[in-house]
Amino acid sequence: MKLTLYQVDAFTDKLFGGNPAAVIPLQEWISDELMQQLALENNLSETVFFVPAGGTDEYDFHIRWFTPAAEINLCGHATLASAWVLYHILGYEKPTIRFHCLSGLLTISRQGDIISMDFPAWKPQPLKDFPADLAVALGFVPFVNVYKYRDFLVELENEEAVRNCQPDFVRLKRMGEKAIITARGVEVDFVSRFFAPIVGIDEDPVTGSAHSQLIPYWAEKLGKTNLRAKQLSRRGGDLWCDYLGERVTIAGKCVFFMKGEINLK
């Protein structure tokens, strides 16, 4: 059996920027074990697989995402990369793409070279008490607020504090948690970084699912629903965001890197 793999840099307009995703289109599902092995072999933050839905008018494709260590329930950059492959390589011509996933229905559209994703809004809740190890794991950087939905969301004093934070990934992994750090931006509305050693990713370059939590937080804090965001990883990423109440839209650009063939004997 042979599979085609596309590697796409998402949330960027520059090669070697954004977050690289391995995209493997399928006609039917292969085993979970094999998908996990392929994700480990690719050794990117996510490898994404999708298959045609067939026999339903509710959505167009089923989609699943794997880190090198585990399957996850939502991934923005690999969804963006999948949509780019469908639109630009596989000849998909409908105005929207409807993906069905573990987090429900995701609707994708495009305007020019910007692809927009309709994602769930995960509004984080304030935490009065949080593990003391969180401060240690984040290098004792001063906290402004600590919130949580799926992940810890920690607001820091400013963009420089986010940029310079040096986490203890071993301790964070031992806690069994993922963490977002964020602050008001200098040139954009907010900046962030995302750490997930528990699923094999010390720092994710650009994280759509984190913005499902960040957008409601900053929309309420800044009193605006249209937001520009930047993720301050080494590769960096740019996102256009909108808060719609129960949903958010996360938009960005993609750059194609390579096409390959996987030979499974």
Active site residues per annotation: 46
Question: What is the rounded distance in angstroms from the CA atom of residue 178 to the CA atom of residue 139?
Answer: 15
Nearest to 236, CA basis, from 202, 206, 201 = 206
Residues with Cβ < 8 Å from 261, sequence gap 6 or more?
2, 3, 4, 5
Nearest to 105, CA basis, from 5, 246, 262, 220 = 246
Question: What is the rounded distance in angstroms from the CA atom of residue 19 to the CA atom of residue 124?
Answer: 24
Question: In this structure, is the dihedral angle defined by the CA atoms of residues 116, 27, 104 and 97, taken in order, positive or negative?
Answer: positive
Question: What is the rounded distance in angstroms from the CA atom of residue 26 to the CA atom of residue 45?
Answer: 20
Residues with Cβ < 8 Å from 184, sequence gap 6 or more?
158, 159, 190, 191, 222
Question: What is the rounded distance in angstroms from the CA atom of residue 236 to the CA atom of residue 63?
Answer: 25
